[in-house]
Structure 1
Amino acid sequence: MKHNVILVVLDGLNYQVARHALGHLQAYCDAGRAALYRLDCELPSLSRPLYECILTGVPPIASGVVHNDVVRLSNQRSIFHYARAAGLTTAAAAYHWVSELYNRAPFEAVRDRHTDDADLPIQYGHFYYADHYPDSHLLADAEHLRLRHKPNFLLVHPMNIDDAGHKHGLDSPQYRNSARRADIILADYLQAWLEAGYQVLVTADHGMNTDRSHNGLLPEEREVPLFVLGSAFSLDAAVRPRQTELCGTVCELLGVEHDKPVCRELLK
C-alpha cells in the first residue's frame, strides 16, 4: 500500500533530551499510537553529511559529503529523486543546504529561497539560511506547502535546537527548552497530518555535546531519536533501525522503486 510521508528532522536533537523533553510526542507513545527508537548517527556527526545520509541512505565516507563545507549537488539518488521518478510530488521546508544537495548549488536566496519548479527533485520548497530562523515560522512554511501542493513526500527541517546547542551546550536550559518548544510547535500540526493519512517520522541528524559542538563519537553526539507515527508502522519495541535505513524505509512507505537498505521491522 502506498502512503504519503512527512519526515521531520529536528536538527541537533540528542536522544536523551528527546526522551524526556518531547511531551507531546511521548503522549502518542504512551497511548500506543507511536514508538520511539534510538539511532546512532553515522560519522562524522555533522549536519550536511548526515542530511545526505538520511535522504540517500549513504554514509558520508561513501557519499563524499564529509563535512559542512562540501558545497555541491549530491551524486547519490535521494528520496526526492525516487519519488519524482515515480511521478510523486515532493516538497521541503528546510535549511538551504538541502536545496544545495538536491536542487541547485550554490544556493542563491533570491532564486532558491522559495522554489516552485515541477522539474526539480524538490519541486516545492521554502529554504531558510539563518540558524535562528524561528521553528514556528518553519513549521508554518511546511504546512503552507502541504496544504497548497499536497506533496506525497514532505521534509520538515527546523534548526533552533541545534542553534541553542551551539550557543549554550547540551547541559543547558536553553537547549532543553528549545527541544520543548519544538515539541509544542509540532503539536499544532501533528494530528492534522495523521488525520490526512500521512505517515510521520521525527528524527535528528546528530546530537550535541557540552562543548557546544558535535563531530565526534560521544554518545551525546551520536545518539538521536526516531519517533514513528501512523498506521503503517509496527510499533515493535524490539526494532533496531539504522540511520542509513531511513531513506529506503521512506521509499517503501511511498511505494516507489529504490535500491536502498530498509528496516522492514519498522513496518507492518
Structure 2
Amino acid sequence: MLLPLRFALLALLSLLVSPLSAAEVRRPVTILISIDGFRADYLDRGLTPTLTALARQGVSAAMRPSFPTKTYPNHYALVTGLRPDRNGIVGNKMEDAARPGETFTTKNSDDSFWWSQAEPLWVGAEKAGIRTGVMFWPGSNAPYGGIRAQDWFPFSENVTNVQRVNTVLDWLRRPVALRPRFLTLYFDLVDTAGHRHGPDSPELNAAVREADRQLAALRAGLSELHQPANLIIVADHGMAPSSPNRVVWLHDIANPADYHVIDEGPVATIDAVPGHEAALAASLLRPRPHINCMRKADVPQRLHFGRNPRVAPFVCIAETGWLLLDVFPKKWGVDLGSHGYDNAAPEMLALFVAAGPSIKPRGKLPSFDNVDVYPLLRELLSLPPKPGIDGTDTPFKNALKRR
C-alpha cells in the first residue's frame, strides 16, 4: 500500500510544480526609446518619477548630440555609431548632386538612397539572426541593402502614444521564435511642445509628464509579461528658447537672386545660384551679429561636419536662441523653442538613461557623445564590436555586467 501512496504523492507534487516548470524563462530584450527633444535637464524638474527611478537603478548622463543638432541626423547617429557627416543624414533637409532637383524631407524619407551611407543597427542585428522590431525610428521605413527590421511602422502622428507602447508589448507577447530581441520606440510629444510653446512652458512640462507616464505603462506591461529588458532611453537633442524677436532674415543680408536655401533655422544650409557664387560669398561671409556663416570647408573641426558631399557649400550657425530664416514659417509661426545649434551649447544636451539586468547602478556618468550609444547597444545584443565607427563603449565600461 505504500507504493501506490508514494505514486499518488508524486503525482500531486507534479501537479503543483508543473505550472512553474512549464513557465518560460525569458531572455532579456533591449529596447531603445527616443523621447524626441527631451533636454537633459528636464530630468531635474521633478516631473518624471519613472525616469528618475530608472536613472537611480542604472545610469544617466547629459549626452552630447552630433552637429547639426537636428532630429534625423541624430537618430541615425544613435543607431549607426557614425556622426552625420559620415552617416549621410546631414540635415532634416538636404540635397545630393546624384539627385538633381530633389530635396530630402519627411515626405520622401522612405527612399533607401538617402540612408545608404551607413548600416543601421537593426539591419546588422537581422544579419546576425537577431529579430528586431522598430516603432517609428527615423530611417526604419527604408530598406538597407534590401533588409528591414522584421517589424516596423512608417511614422504617423495619428498613432497615439498608448498605441505605440501597446504595439511594442504586443510584439513581446508572441512565441519566442517570432519575438524581437531588439526593439525601438519613439515619442515626439516633448519635441512638439518645445517647438510650439518653448522649453519653459506649462505645455512642455505636461508633455514631459505624459512621456514619463508612457514609460511607466511600458514597464508595467513588461512586468506583466515577466519580460526582463534593458531600457536605453535617449533624446536626439535638447531645446533652446527662441522668439520672433530673435530672427535674422536671410533676404535682408543677401540678394534672393543669389541663393538657394536648403534648410533654415538655428543652422541654415545654403547654395549659390549658378554664376552667383562670388556675390553670395561676399554677402554671407562678412561678420554679422547673431549668426556665423562660413564655407563648408571652414566649419570648425570639433563639429565633425562639412566633408560629406551632401553638406551645402555655405553653412550658417545662429547664436543660441536666434534663428536665420528666409520665409515666415507657415505651420504655427516662428518656433518658441528650437534646436540645431552648436552641439556644445548646454541647451542642446540630450537625455540618456539606461537600466536593466545588464546595467549596474552607477548613477550619473560624465557627458559623452551620442555615437557612443551604438557600441553599447551592440554589446547588450552580444554583437561583436564594429570597426571604423565614431563611437566607443568606454563611457559604459564600469556600468555593464559582464556575461
Please indicate, yes or no, whether the TM-score normalized by the shorter chain is above 0.5. yes
Q: Is the 8 A contact 2:88 2:115 kept in 1?
A: no
1:198 equivalent in structure 2: 229
Equivalent of residue 226 in structure 1, options 352, 375, 379:
352
Q: Identify unmatched segments of 5+ residues in structure 2.
A: 1-26, 94-103, 243-336
Equivalent of residue 189 in structure 2, options 151, 156, 160:
160
Equivalent of residue 93 in structure 1, options 135, 149, 155:
135
Q: How does 1:171-250 map to 2 (within 5 A)?
A: 171-193=200-222, 195-211=226-242, 212-217=337-342, 218-220=345-347, 222-237=348-363, 239-240=365-366, 241-250=368-377
Q: Is the 8 A contact 2:173 2:179 kept in 1?
A: yes
Q: How does 1:1-268 map to 2 (within 5 A)?
A: 3-20=28-45, 21-29=47-55, 32-69=56-93, 70=104, 71=109, 72-94=114-136, 97-100=138-141, 102-103=142-143, 120-130=147-157, 133-148=159-174, 149-193=178-222, 195-211=226-242, 212-217=337-342, 218-220=345-347, 222-237=348-363, 239-240=365-366, 241-259=368-386, 260=389, 261-263=392-394, 264-268=397-401
What CA RMSD, in Å, does the superposition of the two structures yield over aligned residues?
Answer: 2.3
Q: Is the 8 A contact 1:203 1:224 kept in 2?
A: yes
- Please report how far the alpha carbon of residue 9 of structure 1 lies from its aligned counterpart in structure 2 after TM superposition: 0.6
Name whichever structure is richer in helix by fraction.
1
Residue type of the alignment partner of 1:36: S
Q: Which moved more, 1:247-256 or 1:188-197?
A: 188-197
Aligned-partner Cα distance in 2 for 1:99–1:81: 9
Aligned-partner Cα distance in 1 for 2:204–2:234: 16
TM-score of the superposition, structure 2-length normalised?
Answer: 0.57
Q: Is the 8 A contact 2:70 2:340 kept in 1?
A: yes
- Please report how far the alpha carbon of residue 133 of structure 1 lies from its aligned counterpart in structure 2 after TM superposition: 4.5
Find the residue that maps to 1:45 and give its secondary structure: coil
Identity %: 22
The runs of 4+ residues in structure 1 deviating greater than 6 Å are none
With over 3 angstroms needed to count, the CA separation of the structure-2 counterparts of 1:74 and 1:208, relative to structure 1, is farther
